[in-house]
Amino acid sequence: MNIDKVLTDTIDIKNINDIIEKYKHRTIINSKYVFEKKIGSGSFGSVFMGKNIISEDKVAIKFEGSTVEYPTLLWESKILNHLAGIPGVVKLRYFGTEGNKNIIVMDLYSHTLYEEINRLKQSNILINDKDKDKDKDKESISESPKNDLLQIKTNTSSDKENNIIKDNNDYNVMDNVMDNVMDNVMDNVMDNVMDNINNEDIIKEHDELCNESYPKYTKDVTEHLISILQIISKVHDAGVVHRDIKPENFMFNIEIKKDGCIEKKINIIDFGLSRFYMKGDKHVTNTYNKSIVGTLRYISRYVHEGNVYSRRDDIISIIYVAIYLIKGKLPWSGLIISKEEKRKKEELIYDKKIKTTSDVLCKGLPYLYKKLIDYAYKLDYDEKPDYLYMIRQCKNMLKEIK
C-alpha cells in the first residue's frame, strides 16, 4: 500500500493545490516532497532530511547524478520494492528521475544503533563519575574535623570530550572509553579462566560469576542483536543479502503508544550494495574471485579471500558489529594507514582477522559471542543460517546476565 497516496486521497484537491502554490519557489519532488537540510553523504551522493508538504511527514531523500556509471539508487529502489512489507526494512516512498538526478525517498528515522549505544555509554560514564564523586565526598567528610565540613566541595565530572577517544579509522568513529575499564576489570579474571579451557560448562560457570563485570549496555546490545537477526532472516528469506552491515545502517524509529509509553523499533537501511543470492531456485555459484565489498571493519574473512558474498557473511558482520558496540573496538580497529595505501590496509586487516582467535576476539564478553562467531564461521558458503538457534542462545544469555 502506498502510504502517501492514501494520505493524499483524504485531502481536498483544492487544499493540495494551495499547498503546492505555497512551495512553488522551492524544488518539489513528485509534487509532494521538499528538501530541508543535508544530513549525510555516501558513495551514491547526498542524503537530506525532507518532508511531505501534504502530510507533513518527515522523510529521507537521497539523490545521485542520473549519468553516473553505476546508478546505485536505481538498484536500491528495486531491492526495496522487492522487500516491501518486511517489518524492520526501511520503506520506499518514491523513486524517480527528475532533471539530471536520480531521487529516492524513504522513511526518516530518529538515530542510528551506534548513537543509541553511545548514549548508553556516555550516561554510564556520567553515573560512574557521580558515584566516584560521592565516594570522594564521603572520604573527605570522614577524614575532616566537624568544623571543616563547610569547606568540603563536591568534585565535578570531567569534560565529556576527555572521555572520548577518536578512532583513527576512516570508515567509522566510535569512542573507546570502555576499553580501559574492561581491561582493568577483566584481564586478571579472564587470563586465569580462559587459558587452555575447552570445557564449555566451565566457561558458562565463569559467565555466571563475572557477569556483573560486563558493561551495563551488554544486555541492550544483545537485545538489539535479537531484533537484527529477526530482520535479516526475513531479508535472507526474500533472497537478498545486505552486504554492508555496520552500526550506522541500523536505525531506530520512535513510536508513542496510546498509554504514553515510548517504543523504539530498529530498522535496517542502505541496500545500495545488496544483491540477490538466488538464481531461480538455486544458490549463486561461488567463483572465489570477487573484489571486496562492504565496510572493511565488519566484513568476514571469506569476503577478504574473494568468496562471493552469501548469507553467512551478513551473519558474521552482524556479530562483529555487536562485539564492536560492546567493547568499543575490534582487534583490527584503528590501523593507521594513508589513503594511498588502501590495498595494504585491506591486507593488514585481513592478516589481523585470521590471526585473532575467537577467544581473543570475545575476551571479556559473555560466552554467547564466542559461540555465535564460531558457529557463523562453520557455515558453508550456501548454507542457510539457523536464525532461531542464534536467537535462542541470545535469549538464554539474557536470562542469566544481570
Q: What is the pLDDT of residues 68-94, one digit of tens each?
A: 888 899 999 999 999 999 999 999 999
For 290-312, the pLDDT digits (tens) are 999 999 999 999 999 999 999 99
Domain end among 52, 82, 108:
108
Whether 238 and 381 map to the same domain: the answer is yes
Q: What is residue 173's predicted lDDT score, i.e. its pLDDT?
A: 35
When pLDDT is cut at 50, 70 and 90, the band that residue 132 belongs to is low
Specify if 174 maps to a domain.
no
Look up the pTM and report it: 0.77
Whether 278 and 376 map to the same domain: the answer is yes
Q: What is residue 26's predicted lDDT score, i.e. its pLDDT?
A: 84
Domain end among 80, 108, 136:
108
Whether 203 and 97 map to the same domain: the answer is no
Specify if 140 maps to a domain.
no
Q: What is residue 137's predicted lDDT score, i.e. its pLDDT?
A: 55
Whether 192 and 103 map to the same domain: the answer is no
When pLDDT is cut at 50, 70 and 90, the band that residue 128 belongs to is low
Q: Taking 80 as the threshold, does the pLDDT of residue 25 lie above it?
A: no
Q: What is residue 208's predicted lDDT score, i.e. its pLDDT?
A: 47
Specify if 264 maps to a domain.
yes
Share of the chain above pLDDT 70, in %: 73
Whether 50 and 194 map to the same domain: the answer is no
Q: What is residue 270's predicted lDDT score, i.e. its pLDDT?
A: 95
CB atoms < 10 A from the CB of 252, how many? 18
Q: Taking 50 as the threshold, does the pLDDT of residue 161 lie above it?
A: no
When pLDDT is cut at 50, 70 and 90, the band that residue 118 belongs to is very high
Whether 198 and 82 map to the same domain: the answer is no
Whether 91 and 219 map to the same domain: the answer is no
Point out which residues pair with 92 in neighbouring strands. Answer: 106
Specify if 155 maps to a domain.
no
For the chain, how many structural domains are there in total? Answer: 2
The span from the CA of 338 to the CA of 298, in Å, is 20
Q: Which three cell numbers stand for residue 226?
A: 535479537
Whether 346 and 208 map to the same domain: the answer is yes
Specify if 138 maps to a domain.
no
Whether 95 and 220 map to the same domain: the answer is no
Q: What is residue 358's predicted lDDT score, i.e. its pLDDT?
A: 98
Whether 330 and 193 map to the same domain: the answer is yes
For 168-194, the pLDDT digits (tens) are 343 343 344 344 434 443 444 344 434
Q: Which three cell numbers stand for residue 198?
A: 575447552
Q: What is residue 364's predicted lDDT score, i.e. its pLDDT?
A: 93
Domain of 348, CATH number, reads 1.10.510.10
Residues 6 or more apart whose Cβ sits within 8 Å of residue 158? 129
Whether 83 and 218 map to the same domain: the answer is no
Domain of 46, CATH number, reads 3.30.200.20
Q: Which long-range CB contacts under 8 A does 170-173 form with residues at least 24 apart? A: 170/339, 171/295, 171/296, 171/297, 172/114, 172/246, 172/247, 172/248, 172/295, 172/297
Q: What is residue 183's predicted lDDT score, i.e. its pLDDT?
A: 45
Q: What is residue 155's predicted lDDT score, i.e. its pLDDT?
A: 39
**Between 237 and 168, residue with greater pLDDT:** 237
Q: What is residue 2's predicted lDDT score, i.e. its pLDDT?
A: 52
The span from the CA of 370 to the CA of 357, in Å, is 9
Is there a contact between 364 and 194 (Cβ–Cβ < 8 Å)? no
Positive or negative: CA dihedral 213, 216, 221, 226: positive
**Between 334 and 170, residue with greater pLDDT:** 334
The span from the CA of 376 to the CA of 273, in Å, is 21
Q: What is residue 343's predicted lDDT score, i.e. its pLDDT?
A: 77
For 338-390, the pLDDT digits (tens) are 777 777 889 999 999 999 999 999 999 999 999 999 999 999 999 999 999 99
Domain end among 50, 75, 108:
108
Q: Which of 176-180, 256-260, 264-268, 372-376 has the lowest mean pLDDT?
A: 176-180
The span from the CA of 237 to the CA of 365, in Å, is 30
Tell me the residue range of the domain where 195 lies: 184-400
CB atoms < 10 A from the CB of 383, how many? 12
Specify if 176 maps to a domain.
no
When pLDDT is cut at 50, 70 and 90, the band that residue 209 belongs to is very low
When pLDDT is cut at 50, 70 and 90, the band that residue 44 belongs to is low
Q: Taking 60 as the threshold, does the pLDDT of residue 248 lie above it?
A: yes
Whether 104 and 189 map to the same domain: the answer is no
Q: What is residue 400's predicted lDDT score, i.e. its pLDDT?
A: 86
Specify if 367 maps to a domain.
yes
The span from the CA of 234 to the CA of 70, in Å, is 27
When pLDDT is cut at 50, 70 and 90, the band that residue 12 belongs to is low
When pLDDT is cut at 50, 70 and 90, the band that residue 337 belongs to is confident
Residue whose entry in the numeric block shows the C-alpha cell 581473543: 360
Q: What is residue 335's predicted lDDT score, i.e. its pLDDT?
A: 83
Q: What is residue 22's predicted lDDT score, i.e. its pLDDT?
A: 75
Q: Taking 80 as the threshold, does the pLDDT of residue 205 lie above it?
A: no
Q: What is residue 1's predicted lDDT score, i.e. its pLDDT?
A: 47
Specify if 91 maps to a domain.
yes
